[in-house]
Each structure stands twice: as C-alpha cells, then as structure tokens.
Structure 1
Amino acid sequence: MCICEAVQPIDNGVFLLILQHPQEKRENLGTAQIAHLQFANSMVKVGLSWPGLKRILGREVDPKRWGVLYLGPVKEGGAPRAEVAVVDKNGQPLRDSAEILEELEGVIVLDGTWSQAKTLWWRNAWLLKCRRIVLNPQFRSLYGQARKEPRRDSVSTLEAGAFLLSRLEGDQAILDTALKPFSLLLKKLRQPRPRPAAQPPRDDAGGAADGEDGGEGGGED
C-alpha cells in the first residue's frame, strides 16, 4: 500500500538507530521502515544480536552519548514524570537527565512486540553501556484498534522515535511531520474495499445469453 505522497524526509540532528526483531519485519503494520524513510539520519538493522554499536555503525562511538529506550520498570517519585528522562539500572530517574539528553549523539529503539523487544534487550548486553531513556508521551498511539498494544500508554516504533527526537531537538514539527505517512497508512487500511463487479448472467449451457455461439449479434443475417 503506497504512502509515498506523505513521506517528507526530516534532517534530524540526533541519529536514530532501529534494531528490528526478524519476525517484526513481516508485520504489515510495522513502522520501522516508515521511520527510516522519514528520518534522513537513521538506520534499520534486522537481527537478534550484534557484537556492539561500533560494528553496527562502522565507526568509533561513545556509548555514553547514545540512549536506548528502556523496557524495565520506572520508579515513580513525588514529582510529575518528565516527558523524557534518563534512569539508572534500577529505573530511578537521574538528576542530571537534562544535561545527559543534551549531549546525546544518537538513540536506539527496539522494534517488535513487547516480548520480541525484550529478547533484543537481553541478547545484546552492550546496550547496558548506553543511557537508559524512558518516555512519558501525552498522547495515545494512532494504532487504535488496528494493532493490540501491551499497555495503554504503548506507542509504535515510529511514534516513540519521532516523539523522542522532537523533544531532544526541541521541535514539535518533527513529530507532526513524521507521523503523516503512518496516519495515511491507517486511513487507507480502514477504508472499505470496493466490491468486485457483478458477473453477467449466463445460460444453463454456460454460454452467453445472446446467441448460441456467444458472439455479438448471434442472429441470422
């Protein structure tokens, strides 16, 4: 289903890396490829495990300047949760979250179902060297009833990546623009499909109703 007319590549400053579970690649409503089309500085890698971030990107990197969306529990404090925060290994928000977020070179999103994403997390121990990022988006996923999500506040890979980049770069337009192809895809999927054209009636012998030979003007001259 073509959504080309809605694709508007965004020149994002923070790199977006999507690690996709192989089974998610076959999902018709997956959003990893849409995210890759929408963000000029992005990459999608399909697999279960990789030696490290350096091998994926093909260059030297400092994992402390990379964030990964964290799948573990987050400890709730007395203060309202921020839209984007960095947490420690226990899910406790760090006091210097804002400073860490400002220094990020890239972010990593794990693409797949909840269980598939957890598989990617546990099979790639090098992710533990990256900054753990948690999101608190104040919107519901565009998926709606189209695809079941594990939690009410769950969003698609595209929505998570676009929301995070929009906050890191301080530009709401990044989120709005990035979601246009996804919105169009869901709109087309929800449109009723046209019914097939009715077939012309046929006689008992299987020929056309006019003339024995089925040809046009089957009468005598």
Structure 2
Amino acid sequence: MPDDALPVDNKVSVLVLQHPQEKNRVLGTAGLLVESLADARLAIGLSWRNLAHALKQPAEPRNWAVLYLGSAQMQALAQSCETLVALDRKGEPLVDQAGARAGLQGLVALDGNWAQAKALWWRNAWLTKLRRFVVIPDRPSLYGELRREARHEALSTLESVALALAVLEHDPSIRDRLLVPFRAMLAAARAAGVRDSKRDRRSRR
C-alpha cells in the first residue's frame, strides 16, 4: 500500500474468508484489502465452526452480513439504481432495505474464483444465519484483461467490499480510497507484463 494511503477507518468490520488455492494468486486482493482497512481480518481455509471461530473473537451472527454470491433476480436488480441489495433466503430483494442495514456490525466476503467461493459457501452452513447482501456492479472490474472470471459481472473481493462499505457507511470516499492501492497494483502488473496466476508469470514478448 502506498505510504500516503492511510488505512480506512471502517465502522463496519470486515472478515474475508479466503479459499486456500487463492492465497498464492499474484493479483489477489484479499491481503491488500485487509491491509487497507483499520478493522479487517483475513481467515484462510475451507471451513470454520462458526462466525466467532473464523473471527477468533465473540460475534453475534444476527449483526453480521455476507456478500452473497448471486441472486435469481440479478438481471432485474442490475436495472435498478441500487449497488447493494439485501436479499431474503430465496434470493429475493427485501422490502425493507433500510431495516436490513440497521445495526449491522460486520461484513463477510468470500475470496476466490466463482467455484472456490461456492465451495466456501457450502462448507460453512453458519453463513446462512447471516444477513445477505448482493453487490450490483455499476461498472466493470478494474482487473480488465488481467484476470477473467466465469461471470462477466464479477468484481474483485476488494472492489466488492469497497462498494458495500461505501453504501453501508454512507461515504463514497471509502470506495475511492480503497481503489487507490488496487489501481497501483494493476498498473505495476501491466507495466511488468504480469498476468494473474498462482505464480508470477510474465508475458513473453
């Protein structure tokens, strides 16, 4: 992280659950995200007994939310003006969006590609006890050609959390500040010819 970029003093705590196969990605964002936030924790693994186990401290699940992998209504949601939508257990938007955000103390993000994130979801049943939010991207991921996902609307973990925190804390500057080190990382990667992989592979010219 650049020396002049102070950690964002986030009021909503962040817990990133990272799939073990994601930790060696050259252009992964979980570590950068946690480093850039004042209150964030990275847990690497496949499963944890509960939220408190993953956090390594007491936590009340009802006061936490998870960034959900998707919704049956994604196309319809994409046409709305919202970038963060609370869902019920069927993946439908809740009527009381403000109520779903009230009293929220923490946010869980799943770090990995689409298949890895799904594996984390299914291996940790306690996630279903949390509130559910889905991020509706208002622009493509900054990754561009550096990393491709199975879903074209996918964002990096850092981008997703940055957008969510900006909405939850009513502070657009949070997103802007978190994207500064991410942009710097991507610029350096493009300059060096790096493409995302489990190792540092540089493109041949």
Q: Specify which structure has the higher proportion of helix.
A: 2
Aligned to 1:5: 3
Larger mean Cα displacement after TM superposition, 60-69 or 120-129: 60-69
d(CA) in 1 for partners of 2:82 and 2:112?
25
d(CA) in 1 for partners of 2:58 and 2:96?
25
Q: Name the aligned partner's letter for residue 161 of structure 1.
A: V
Q: Are 1:154 and 2:154 an aligned pair?
A: yes
- 1:56, distance to aligned residue in structure 2 (A): 2.3
Aligned to 1:215: none
Aligned to 1:18: 16
d(CA) in 1 for partners of 2:9 and 2:35?
11
Larger mean Cα displacement after TM superposition, 114-123 or 137-146: 137-146
- 1:73, distance to aligned residue in structure 2 (A): 2.4
Higher relative contact order (CA 8 A, sep 6+): 2
- 1:5, distance to aligned residue in structure 2 (A): 3.4
d(CA) in 2 for partners of 1:98 and 1:148?
34
d(CA) in 2 for partners of 1:192 and 1:40?
30
Q: Name the aligned partner's letter for residue 114 of structure 1.
A: W
d(CA) in 1 for partners of 2:139 and 2:4?
21
d(CA) in 1 for partners of 2:36 and 2:160?
13
Please, which runs of 5 or more residues in structure 1 have no aligned partner? 194-221
- 1:96, distance to aligned residue in structure 2 (A): 1.4
Task: Indicate the SS of the match to 2:110.
Answer: strand
Alignment size in residue pairs: 190
Q: Name the aligned partner's letter for residue 127 of structure 1.
A: L
Aligned to 2:141: 141
Aligned to 1:174: 174
d(CA) in 1 for partners of 2:157 and 2:95?
27
Task: Indicate the SS of the match to 1:27.
Answer: coil
Distance 1:120 1:127, change over 3 A: same
Please, which runs of 5 or more residues in structure 2 have no aligned partner? 194-205
d(CA) in 2 for partners of 1:6 and 1:31?
19
1:39 aligns with one of 37, 40, 43: 37
Q: Name the aligned partner's letter for residue 133 of structure 2.
A: I
Aligned to 1:29: 27
d(CA) in 2 for partners of 1:6 and 1:33?
18
Moved over 4 A (4+): none
d(CA) in 1 for partners of 2:37 and 2:80?
30
Aligned to 2:163: 163
Aligned to 1:210: none
Task: Indicate the SS of the match to 2:59.
Answer: coil
Equivalent pair of 1:19/1:47 in contact (CA under 8 Å): yes
Identical positions, percent: 43
Looking at CA atoms only, which structure, 1 or 2, has the larger radius of gyration? Answer: 1
Superposition TM-score, scaled by structure 2 size:
0.87
d(CA) in 1 for partners of 2:177 and 2:107?
19
Equivalent pair of 1:8/1:178 in contact (CA under 8 Å): no
